[in-house]
Every structure is written in structure tokens, then in C-alpha cells.
């Protein structure tokens, strides 16, 4: 693997671990500059096409998913690792479905469920857009529902 810092071709693996989704995490050190970094290896499995509300289809984009989650989690005490984990879990669930196409609503439901477990403020931010909470009373009723669930 090429060093991302100096682009030297030889690196040394100092630690390897495996995650539950079949991926491999490797800690590496460059033999030229001595910098340490982490690389991830994931099997490439097909993700289904997403059927949008208007009937159009688009490829699943992990980056688009991460972007939406990051916006909802902005300025919250949520680590980048947690955001990556959520995206990875959702991508894995979609791959395990084994379908060629799924409604985009399924992805949105997965995101909203995981954000609800992780951080309620991020959940509300995402829900405002996803559930189309377009006035203060609908936002308030969603917050009241969450508070009732919590107690």
C-alpha cells in the first residue's frame, strides 16, 4: 500500500483487526517517512438501486448518506467513527437484503432509527427534513412524543 503522506510504496502492517461486517482494519507505518495511518478493507458487494419518491432510480451513494448524517450531527458530541459506523451498518443491511432495487424510504427509515438511538437532537434535525415537519407545531409534537417515550 502506498503511503498517503509521502507516497512511498513500502509500508509495514503493525496491527490488524476485523469488524463484524467482514471488513479489515490495518494500522500501518511507512518505511520511508515513519508516519502511521489506518487502512480499511471491505468486500465489495452490490448495493441496490434506490427508487425515489418520483419513481426515478439512482445508485446508492455512501457519500450522500454520510453527508446527510453529518449535517444532522453537526455540532453534537458525536464522533466521526459513530457516523461512519451508522453508514456502514446501513450499507451492510442494504447489501444483505439481496434485492436489486429498494425504495429510498427504507434507507431514510434506517437512518432515522439509528439517529434516534444515538442522539435525539440529531434525530430531530434529520426528522425535520425527512418527515417533512414543516411547521413549529409538528416539530413540537414530535419533540413531545420523544419526551413522553423517554419518561
**Domain residue spans of the chain:** 11-41, 49-150
Cβ atoms within 10 Å, residue 124: 18
Q: Is the pLDDT of residue 151 over 90?
A: no
Mean pLDDT for the stretch of residues 32-48: 88
- Higher-confidence residue of 8 and 43: namely 8
pLDDT tier, 17 (very low <50, low <70, confident <90, very high otherwise): very high
Q: Is the pLDDT of residue 44 over 80?
A: no
Residue 59 main-chain phi, psi, to 5 deg: -70, 145
**Cβ burial 50-64 (10 Å sphere, 16+ → b, else e):** bbeeeeeeeebeeee
Residue located via cell numbers 487502512? 39
| pLDDT value of position 36 | 96
Amino acid at each position: 500500500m502506498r503511503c498517503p503522506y509521502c507516497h512511498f510504496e513500502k509500508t509495514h502492517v503493525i496491527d490488524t483487526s476485523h469488524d463484524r461486517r467482514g471488513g479489515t482494519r490495518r494500522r500501518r507505518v511507512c518505511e520511508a517517512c515513519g508516519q502511521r495511518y489506518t487502512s480499511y478493507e471491505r468486500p465489495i458487494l452490490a448495493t441496490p438501486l434506490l427508487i425515489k419518491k418520483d419513481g426515478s432510480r439512482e445508485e446508492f451513494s455512501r457519500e450522500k448518506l454520510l453527508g446527510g448524517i453529518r449535517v444532522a450531527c453537526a455540532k453534537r458530541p458525536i464522533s466521526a467513527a459513530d457516523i461512519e459506523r451508522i453508514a456502514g451498518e446501513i450499507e451492510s443491511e442494504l447489501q444483505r437484503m439481496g434485492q436489486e432495487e429498494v425504495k429510498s424510504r427504507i434507507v431514510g427509515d434506517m437512518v432515522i432509527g439509528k439517529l434516534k438511538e444515538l442522539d435525539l437532537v440529531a434525530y430531530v434535525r434529520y426528522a425535520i427534513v425527512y418527515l417533512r415537519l414543516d411547521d413549529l407545531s409538528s416539530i413540537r409534537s414530535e419533540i413531545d412524543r420523544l419526551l413522553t417515550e423517554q419518561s
